[in-house]
Amino acid sequence: MAKFLKLIKNNKGATAIEYGLIAALIAVAAIGAMQSIGGKLSTTFNNVSNNLK
C-alpha cells in the first residue's frame, strides 16, 4: 500500500507529459508558419522567374 501511495504522489511523469505537449504545440505552430511562408516564397520565385524571361 505504501508503494501505491508513493506512486500517486510522484509527479515526474506529469511534467514529462507537459513538456511533450508544449513541444507538440510549438511544432504545430512552426509547421503552420512554414506553410504560410512557403506559399509566399513560391509566389515570389515565380514572379522573378516570369520577369527574367
Helix, strand, or coil here: 34? Answer: helix
Task: Work out the mean pLDDT of the chain and round it to a whole number.
Answer: 85
Reported residue count of the chain is: 53
Q: What is the CA radius of gyration of the chain?
A: 24
C-alpha cell at 12: 515526474
Band of residue 44 on the pLDDT scale cut at 50, 70, 90:
very high
Average pLDDT rounded to a whole number, residues 26-43: 92
C-alpha cell at 34: 512554414
- State if pTM tops 0.75: no
Calpha distance 12→43 (Å, rounded): 47
